[in-house]
Structures are given as structure tokens and as C-alpha cells.
Structure 1
């Protein structure tokens, strides 16, 4: 019973890509800068898999006999956002980045949106999600107008207090925005950002919801389902792929809940793919430049690695990687254009194989398709023969 388990540590990059300067990310190294600036920091279980043996990694102890295979991957697609990274992991490479709006969305877009939802809006600026509700939360509560904002990523975000705009109404607003944001304004994601609390102590809730575009072509997930496999998604994977190629899904409250749900799915008797995203690294710590919080989240995950390995069946293939960087040490609070680590493990696979620098994240999908015997026209190159 063959299965592939992909765990994406959202934003856990490991050093700037050669073209990082085009994205304003010179000096970004999410894992390296955390190790450098947090005394005594280490990730022993990930290091045992080969994290410290990866070419170019800084600050992690190499293992003499790593039990896994290891490498790093460069992003071939244009961009550095969540959707682009996950789509590339699943076999799609974008030659054009999703549009971004550092000065806010055009007047015609906002006018159409306001007319469609029947109310004015607040904001329409690029801002931190926690800061925008501090700044405009009181006015939102007073007027009932939703708060619209974006970031350096290709996102149209709508924040609303759950007592002012009920959660289902907020989701409907997002669906309206998703229909409007097409063509040249087809942002990667429209995101509902509900919050609660009183003036001075507003807090975002875990009822966030992403409304993504359909992938531009068939992904590994589509091919797997067409071949009769199950595809189980944990976290925001279902949203990123807009439910395409997903047979089962569960949303999560935090990273550790995500690990719990992953372990539950691993205990199920199924053939196919289990695809997990752990978003706290990015959402709670990377974007907020919280080095200590990011470091602690990495330690928490590292402590769960033995459980994950212990739950693997004889024919399971485990891949741990990331989708981009989000270095909490740099001045920027945005994603960073970085290499991502590649750790591969399975009971029937080789250990201590250096997979080198892969030219695209899509090598993951090509390898999994190869392992599961799925005919496909995905981008990338399989490394299966190197680890069998």
C-alpha cells in the first residue's frame, strides 16, 4: 500500500536564491538567521534526517550517518507566495507572478466590490493584519464597513469583527471579491480575516478562510485522483488548490493540531497522498518578525518528528519541505525568495543520499508520481531512482 506524505513547513526557507535581489531579499535566510541569533538553537530530530548535511545550510549540525536523504530546492516559478510555492510542489510552474498592489487596489476594482456588497469599505492599503485592525478596528465597529487590505503578497484580505459582520457574511463578501478579481487582477488569494474582542484588544480568530484561484493546469493531486488514489489534505491545502484534486480534508487550529490531524490520517488505511501545510511559522512568526516565536515553533515540530516517523508504514514515502521563506530577522515582514530544504525518508528507501540542489520544487511531484506509478505530464525530474 504505497503512500506519499508531504509536510510543508510554511515559510521555512534556508537561504537566498540567486535571483533574490529582484525581490528585495538579499540576506534572507530563515533557518540560518534563526540558528545564528538564538543561542543554543538546534533541531536534533530534523538534523538526524540530514538537515545539517544540506548543501549551503548554515547553523545546523551535520549528521555522520543521517537516516534520511537530503537536499535543497530552488523555486523556478516567478514569485514567492504560498500559492505559487504549493502549486510548484504539485507540478505547476508559473512564468508570470500573481499581481500585487503595494499602493492598494485600483479605484475601479474597489468601486465594483463596494457596489456588489452594498457598503463602503475601509483601508485599501498594504498593511500588517494585526496592525490594520488596531488602526481601523474601532471605525469598523462604528460604521460596519469591512476593512480591505493587502500585503507584498498577491492577496485581497477582508477583516471584520465577528459581532459586526457574521462569519458567513464575511465569507460571502470574499466570494464576491473572488469573482471580481479576475483577468489582470487575478490575485492568488482572497482571504477572510475575522477578529473579535474590544477596542485596544482586538484579536484575529482561527476562522480565517482562503479563496484561491483554480490551478492553471493539472497537478499531481488531479492525476492521483484520476488514477484512483485518495488525496487527503491537512490545513489550508484544500484552499490553496481550491478543492481541486482533494478527496478528504481537515482544517486545523495551529501547527500541533496539524501534526495531530496528519497522524490521524496516517493511521487510516488508504493508498495515495497526504498533503499537510503547517502555517504558524509564516502567519504567526515570520510576518511578525518574531524570532523567538519562530524558533520555538520549529522546536515544537522537531519534537514531533519521532511520532511521524513511528507512524510510517513500510511503503510510505515522507517528504518534509517548505514553500518559500519568511525571515523574521530581516527588516521586511514579507515572504522571502529562498531555497527550501528537502528531507526524504522511508523504511524501504536509502539513507544518507545527498540529493543536491534541485532546480524546481516540482521534482517532489515528479518523484511521487513516479513512485505511485501515475502517468503524467508534470514539470520536474524524479529523484526516485537515487533513493530506492
Structure 2
């Protein structure tokens, strides 16, 4: 069995500007990143990974493009006809193979890959006995658990969703949101230092909540940043037309499907 490991860091609530169907979800003008950028934001690690490069067509002064980003960078759109966070989460991690749709977490467990889930929410996995699940109240505890899993779990998938940013977003607290994102950026730097050669780090957001938009989920582009420790420099991944690109990439990375991999899929672009 392969000893490859993927770490998915879900910075839930971080959006990159209104999605093409924003009008259908009362999200015209939504831009989580743009609206917190002037609130003391300092995210040097995310900038070096290419966060500013994603906004090449609408650059933010405090989040500039870099000439040689360390990560592969792009953005995704949600296609599910719902503005619930649980719906976009399932779009991100459900995978359709043949006549069956299942969570990639369940598929991994079926193939006897290690799977760890660190989050604050309830779970919908079928194979809960085969999946390590840790419920966390805040970002600090989430990173403690992530650090522990990175030390002890040698292969498989580690998914970590950070809970605090959405709290600031729902409180309409743009300043608090920016400060917490600064804290997360520092910790992301420590995660990068601990990665092994067989690791792939994926940083994304399963949904957006613009803190200037009255305590509700907003329909925005969502970040897709991938870091491969074996690559000196990343490049653009463009726009993925479904959050299912994440599930498809997991399936491809761990060779879970003998058939043709469903698109969109970005694994070949980052390996």
C-alpha cells in the first residue's frame, strides 16, 4: 500500500468574490477576502503560496501577486443548488463512481487507507468505525490535533476544518476575522515546515461567509491552493467548475478508482 498522505485544511467561510451565480443567492458584491483586506491583514504564508495570484484580475493591495509562488493556486465554484454549508461540503467530498455516490472518506476507509477528520460539526460518513473523528471547539485545538495526527499518521487523508473564522463572519466582525486569519496564516507556516516528501497539502474553503453581509453564507469563488514539498514553484490551476474537484483529486491521488477519473481533477497538474 502506498504511503502517500494528503492533508486538507478547510478555512471555512473564506471566499474570494462573488461567483457567477451570485445573483441567485442574494450575493451580488460579496467578497470576503476583499472586505477584510484593509482590516490589518498580514498573511505572508498564504501570499507566498499564491493567494494573491488567484486575484490577478482584481488584485488586493495587501495581498499582492508573487513572481514565484510556492503553491499551485486557483479557485472553485459551487454548483449545488443550495446555499447551505452542508450542501457545499458534500459537493466537495462526494464522489460518483459508476452507479454509486459515496463520500471519498468512506471510499478511502473501504480501501483500508487511514482517514482522520478534525472538525466541530456532525458527520455523515457511513464507515464511522473506520474513521478517526475528533471534534474541536476552536482553531487552537484543531491545530493541536492536526499536529498530533501529522506526527502519528504516516499515510492516508487528514481533513481539518477550522471553526473560528465563521464565528467572526456571523458576528459581522471584519476586524476580528482579519486578526484570526493572521493567526491561521502563522500556523499554516508551521504546518508547511512539518510536511514530508510524500505529503500533499490542500488549502481550501467549503463555503463563504462575507462578514459584511448579515450573518449568512454568500455565493463566492472559493480558494484552491495546493502545496507539494517536492516542487520548487507552483502555477495557476485556473477555475474548477465544481467543488467536486477536491473529491476527484483525492480519488486520483490514492488510486481509488480503476476507471477513468471524473473531471475536474487537478492531481496531474500538481504532481
TM-score (norm 1): 0.64
Partner of 1:313: 196
2:177 to 276, 294, 305: 294
Residue 27 of structure 2 corresponds to residue 28 of structure 1: no
1:325 to 198, 205, 208: 208
SS in 1 for 2:102: coil
CA–CA distance in structure 1, aligned partners of residues 22 and 244 of structure 2: 19
CA–CA distance in structure 2, aligned partners of residues 344 and 71 of structure 1: 9
Residue correspondences, number:
261
- The alpha-carbon distance between structure 1 residues 313 and 380, as it changes in their structure 2 partners (threshold 3 A), is same
Partner of 2:224: 342
2:264 to 366, 371, 381: 381
Deviations 1:161-206, CA, capped at 9 Å, x for gaps: xxxxxxxxxxxxxxxxxxxxxxxxxxxxxxxxxxxxxxxxxxxxxx
1:241 to 107, 124, 131: 124
Are the counterparts in 1 of residues 251 and 257 from structure 2 also a CA contact under 8 Å?
Answer: yes
Partner of 1:4: 6
Deviations 1:104-143, CA, capped at 9 Å, x for gaps: xxxxxxxxxxxxxxxxxxxxxxxxxxxxxxxxxxxxxxxx
Partner of 1:304: 187
User: What RMSD in Å do the two structures reach over aligned CA positions?
Assistant: 2.0
Partner of 2:51: 51
Partner of 1:82: 85
Q: Who wins on radius of gyration, i.e. which is larger? A: 1
With a CA cutoff of 8 Å and minimum separation of 6, indicate the structure with the bigger relative contact order.
2
Higher mean alpha-carbon deviation, 286-295 vs 240-249, is at: 240-249
Structure 2, unpaired ranges of 5+: none
CA–CA distance in structure 1, aligned partners of residues 33 and 258 of structure 2: 34
Structure 1, unpaired ranges of 5+: 94-215
Partner of 2:233: 351
SS in 2 for 1:218: strand
TM-score (norm 2): 0.90
Are the counterparts in 1 of residues 47 and 64 from structure 2 also a CA contact under 8 Å?
Answer: yes
Are the counterparts in 2 of residues 345 and 351 from structure 1 also a CA contact under 8 Å?
Answer: no
Matches within 5 A, 1:87-102: 87-92=90-95
